[in-house]
Structure 1
Amino acid sequence: MSASLCLSIQVHQNDNVAVIVHDGGLDVGCQLVDGTILLEHIPQGHKVAIRQIPLDQPVIRYGEIIGYATTTIAPGAWVKEADLRMPEPPALADLPIATRTSTPAAALEGYSFEGYRNRDGSVGTRNVLAITTSVQCVAGVTEYVVQQIRQKLLPHYPNVDDIVGLTHSYGCGVAINAPAAIVPIRTLQNLMRNPNFGDEIMVLGLGCEKLQPDQLLKARSQIREPGSEASTVSILSLQDEQLLGFGGMIEGILALAEQHLQRLNQRRREPCPAAELVVGVQCGGSDALSGLTANPAVGFAADLIVRAGGSVMFSEVTEVRDAIHLLTPRVADQETGQALLREMAWFDEYLHTGRTDRSANTTPGNKRGGLANIVEKAMGSIIKSGSSAIVDVIAPGERIRKKGLTFAATPASDFICGTLQLAAGMNIHVFTTGRGTPYNLPMAPVIKVATNSRLAKQWYDLIDIDAGTIATGESSIEQVGWQIFHKMLDVASGREQTAADRLGIFNDLVLFNPAPVT
């Protein structure tokens, strides 16, 4: 096979490894563009040594040390997980903070989408009725009543997109007064405030739970009395003596739901500037191409959103921790930098308490996709944040406060991260994957970007955008970035459905609860 067909990518001139991007991998004897000849078959996404790497010397990718050689690695050899000893994470003390000086990119004007304006100034990309639950005990009833509303009521309200239940496993049998309990509690408080719910709040409780429904309403600055004509808040507890049997419960919930549906049905989409988008970016089922194709393209699109005046949040603490030294220079000021370090230190202690560390992040699928360890994964993960200054850092469960690029501190779990980004105010989600995942949310549209064309073809009806064309040279990062940007505007406007939405598949919410369970 000619060198022109032996596709590999060396990210940085100092790298001593390259990544095989050829579909199906490359066979022994293939010669890379730099002259390296493969000593063995190397699968797509895996690393090949392009220089000799002596024992205990650094293995370098992205211009960063991703490990130390546990044996001498010859040029052309497959660099496997066992060949690397993982380095210590960067120390959090004495990191450069807010040292990057660069000229801000020109404002991006003239881009808009059709959204739903809310009274609090936020904008929704969907018009959804949400039923918040205060305790897991009512989850079964909530799911039952959601189906009843969808079948019996929703057809009469054509301007309402859907009905969802915000069910979870929290609320009782938990230490709600423990300091860390603030995380799941404020997450629930802010979930009901997501802009896609139109400020119509229904809370379903049991009655005897520790987390009482009124505690979930404390995040609202003004609470109207339930029952008033202008009220947007309804609370119903299943133990209410006026509810006779299961049938009485369902009738009571349906009656309240109809009041909210009537108001939501009066809403209409209207032109809104792209500045009103709140974009959450995330990766799951990552491979070694994530940091070469999909994540850089998403990062480019994130910069476009910021230039348009919008909000972008990136997350996943364990996939940031080993690259923290690359992020602290990008923060807007010292206060933001200290907040970023504080979240890293909190999570370090959280993992230490659980007798593990950040190396537990990488999955068997990540490794089969060529990611040797969490250090390599982190270097590719942060690229989806783009190049904009980090203007704010929010703790788990907090609501986004500023326009621009925010780091929302969350675990890397797809479902927990997505839940926390929804609580932060996300109204559209961009999710990259190399191994493939059917992950989707009913509360906000999820645009799925494949890192490689093999996955895009295999999952042709689950993937929205194929970023694998970047690896083959058919497209540039900028071209795919613009494609993602325009896809966001179209999906946010309701002009297009995402692939997973067309199929009607959705994941449950999962709360992050670092507090004790009693």
Structure 2
Amino acid sequence: MQLIPHQDSPRHIRLNDADNVAVIVNDGGVPAGARFEDGLVALEPIPQSHKIALTDIATGQPVIRYGQVIGYALEPIARGGWVRETQLRMPSAPPLDSLPMADAVPARLEPLQGYSFEGYRNADGSVGTRNILGITTTVQCVAGVLEHAVARIRSELLPRYPNVDDVVALTHNYGCGVAITAKDAYIPIRTVRNLARNPNLGGEALVIGLGCEKLQAEQVMHEDDASVDLSEPWLYRLQESSTGFGEMIEQIMALAETRLRKLDRRRRETVPVSELILGMQCGGSDAFSGITANPVLGFASDLLIRAGATVMFSEVTEVRDAIYMLTARAETPEVAQALVREMDWYDRYLARGAADRSANTTPGNKKGGLSNIVEKSLGSIVKSGSSAINGVLGPGERYNRKGLIYCATPASDFVCGTLQLAAGMNLHVFTTGRGTPYGLAMAPVVKVSTRTELAERWPDLIDIDAGRIAAGRASIEELGWELFHYYLDVASGRTRTWAERHRLHNDIVLFNPAPVT
């Protein structure tokens, strides 16, 4: 990465020697006539995080960033000009039938030993970073009653059990009024089931149902499932009440207290870093995402993989245009083929809705300097670091091995977070350039900003400022190690993220590609 370093002069970042565009670093952008240290002169005002042409680019010529083509010029772009999204024709998506398949597998990284965190060991061998009572639902109809019950549990019961971190309602919009036997209905069903198995719930999740819904409790909990405790009462159906609302609340609270007693007896113990299951995501991305925050996540991801942990990255539409880089890194041809399988499934899913991956890029992304989904994808995959990709999970599946895992999800922040929780994530990290107060109730969320300006404007929402890299005040390696240690502190409960302290929790949002009746 080439950085023009002077704080009080026009600055830009060029990521690759082949690039013919660079990203403006200065807060507030640069004015027309601004002269960079390398002699480049801005022909017009260019906002921060937007691209400046480093050479004359003729109509039809490729625009290159990250050493990759992000578009083709629709009109001449002069050296020093602002490269706008409207000036680019987006390249076609890489064809899935001619990708490199496990032909550039990275060498195994040197093991990293001597690191641990304080976690909650579960009966099935998994480890939680938090000790939470989870109460899941079979249908949205019960959500209002459960919300009322959880408020009373939190205020009346939880103070008696100081070793329990929280009580969380796993409410969702599924369960009835849906084509539950449709081809793709397995996705929301297994998601609901696996959410209840998340390590942070300690195997003590409860189920609240209505009684007449299509999704029955027995589809959420299985008696032969070692990850949940079904030896004691675990289910209450509201239609079993004979005296109405008051009885419903009392029954839910009584059921909850049996589990709170058990959870309160749990204590943290020292466990190796290999028990960490990190989910990575980005939202409100900008052109700095692939320069600062995501490379830091990638470096820290490599450290976790070296220590034997599980690291998941996701968002199908935000890797689709860079899939050739991922299939080449797959550990085996079978893993590469699984990546292709998920890309193909999602291509067909979008086509059924008369859309394609170009619909992903938001107005905020574009305001932050991202011209299209190709450029966004190239910055997104940097989170995955440099390790070999060891496995692939379909949406709603639970992790079944350690290493670097691609967890196929939509790019929607809320759906992606939900599916990563279902996959078994016990710690979450989220990078943002434009800013978002996103959080999850079931797992701590570490927020990393791409720009210092955002970290300074939102000091009580951003946990780690990766913008220091663009300012030349820290290296990717330094911040990668800082983030690695921060993960361990958060996982151990020694540090609470800003989202935890504010109780900023987004809803669980299921991915349901099946019809709604």
Normalising to structure 2: TM-score of the pair? 0.97
User: Is residue 377 of structure 1 aligned with residue 372 of structure 2?
Assistant: no
- Could you list the per-position Cα deviations for residues 356-395 of structure 1 after superposition, in whole angstroms to 9, with x for gaps in the alignment? 1001101000000000000000000000111111000000
Alignment of 1:447-486 (within 5 A): 447-486=446-485
In the alignment, the residues of structure 2 paired with residue 250 and residue 124 of structure 1 have an alpha-carbon distance, to the nearest angstrom, of: 28
2:41 corresponds to 1:42:
no
Identity percentage of aligned residues: 61
Question: 1:145 maps to which residue?
Answer: 149
- Report what 1:236 is aligned to: 236
Q: Residue 106 of structure 2 contacts residue 388 of structure 2 at CA under 8 Å; is this kept in 1?
A: no
SS in 2 for 1:390: coil
Partner residue, 1:128: 132
- 8 A Cα contact 2:314 2:406, kept in partner: yes
What is aligned with 1:106?
A: 110
In 2, Cα distance between equivalents of 1:18 and 1:298: 22
The question of 1:167 aligning with 2:171 is answered yes
Q: CA 1:475–1:225 in 2, change beyond 3 Å: closer, same or farther? A: closer
* Aligned-partner Cα distance in 1 for 2:502–2:427: 18
Aligned to 1:490: 489
Matches within 5 A, 1:221-260: 221=225, 231=231, 234-240=234-240, 242-260=241-259
Distance 1:3 1:265 in 2: 52
Alpha-carbon distance between aligned partners in 2 of 1:416 and 1:101, rounded to the nearest angstrom? 30
In structure 2, distance between residues paired with 1:191 and 1:424: 8
Alignment match, 1:91: 95
2:34 pairs with one of 30, 35, 42: 30
CA gap 1:257/1:449 in 2 versus in 1, 3 angstroms: same
| Cα offsets for 1:450-470 (capped at 9, x unmatched) | 000000000010000000000
Cα distance change on mapping 1:340 and 1:233 into 2, 3 Å: farther
The residue type paired with residue 158 of structure 2 is: L
**Within 2, Cα distance between the matches of 1:360 and 1:415?**
17
**How far has the Cα of 1:148 moved from its partner?**
0.7
Change over 3 Å in CA distance of 1:101–1:517 after alignment to 2: closer
Give a deviation string over 1:180-230, Cα, whole Å, max 9, x none. 00000000010000000000020000000000111111385359996xxxx
Q: 1:219-298 alignment to 2 at 5 Å?
A: 220-221=224-225, 231=231, 234-240=234-240, 242-298=241-297
CA contact (8 A) 1:311 1:403 kept: yes
Q: Residues of 2 paired with 1:223 and 1:340: CA distance? A: 28
* SS of the residue 1:163 aligns to: strand
Partner of 1:361: 360
Post-superposition Cα deviations, 1:92-149, rounded to whole Å, max 9, x if no partner, equal 0121111114432211111111000001110000000000000000010111111010
* Correspondence for 1:344: 343
2:105, 2:331 within 8 Å by CA — same for their partners in 1?
no
Question: By how many angstroms is 1:32 displaced?
Answer: 2.3
Q: Do structure 1's residue 51 and structure 2's residue 50 form an aligned pair?
A: no
C-alpha offsets along residues 221-269 of structure 1, whole Å, 9 cap, x if unaligned? 359996xxxx2550110001x5421111111111110100000000000
Q: Does 1:192 align with 2:220?
A: no
Report deviation, 1:17: 0.3
Aligned residues: 513
Runs of 4+ in 1 over 6 A off after TM superposition: 1-4
Mapped to 2, the partners of 1:4 and 1:39 lie a distance apart of 19
The 8 Å contact of residues 20 and 65 in structure 2, kept in 1 or not, is answered as yes
Q: State how far apart, in whole Å, the 2-side matches of 1:368 and 1:334 are.
A: 39
1:207 to 211, 215, 222: 211
Equivalent residue for 2:506?
A: 507
Distance in 2 separating the partners of 1:371 and 1:349: 25
| Residue type of the alignment partner of 1:318 | T
Q: Match of 1:235, as an amino acid?
A: L
* Unpaired segments ≥5 residues, structure 2: none
Match of 2:437 in 1: 438
Partner amino acid for 1:192? A
RMSD across aligned positions (CA)? 1.5
Tell me the equivalent position of 1:63.
67
For residues 169 and 295 of structure 1, the distance between their equivalents in structure 2, rounded to whole angstroms, comes to: 32
* Whole-angstrom CA distance in 2 between matches of 1:340 and 1:18: 31
The aligned counterpart of 1:408 is 407
Q: Secondary structure at the match of 2:185?
A: helix
What TM-score do the two structures reach when normalised by structure 1? Answer: 0.97
Q: Distance in 2 between matches of 1:464 and 1:223?
A: 32
- Using a 3 Å threshold, how does the CA distance of structure 1 residues 35 and 402 change in structure 2: closer, same or farther? same
* AA of the residue aligned to 1:198: G
CA distance in structure 1 between the aligned counterparts of 2:232 and 2:337, rounded to whole angstroms: 38
CA distance in 2, matches of 1:219, 1:412: 34
Structure 2 counterpart of 1:153, which letter?
Answer: L
Amino acid across the alignment from 1:291:
G
Letter in 2 for 1:55: T
Change over 3 Å in CA distance of 1:483–1:70 after alignment to 2: same
Local SS of the residue matching 1:372: coil
Alpha-carbon distance in structure 2 between the residues aligned to 1:243 and 1:386: 57
Worse-matched range after superposition: 28-37 or 116-125: 28-37
Q: How does 1:310-329 map to 2 (within 5 A)?
A: 310-329=309-328
Larger mean CA deviation between 111-120 and 34-43 belongs to: 34-43
Aligned mate of 1:17, from 8, 16, 21: 21
**Is 1:218–2:222 an aligned residue pair?**
yes
- For 1:101 and 1:426, the matched residues in 2 are separated by 25
Find the residue that maps to 1:119 and give its secondary structure.
coil
Measured in 2, the distance between the counterparts of 1:36 and 1:156 equals: 66
Amino acid at match of 1:237: R
* Contact kept? 1:290, 1:380, Cα under 8 Å: yes
CA, structure 1 residues 101+412, in 2 after alignment: closer, same or farther (shift >3 Å)? closer
Q: How far off is 1:35 after superposition? A: 2.0
For the 8 Å contact 1:2–1:30, the answer to whether it is kept is: no
Aligned counterpart, 1:391 = 390
Structure 1 gaps of 5+ residues are: none
Distance 1:3 1:300 in 2: 26
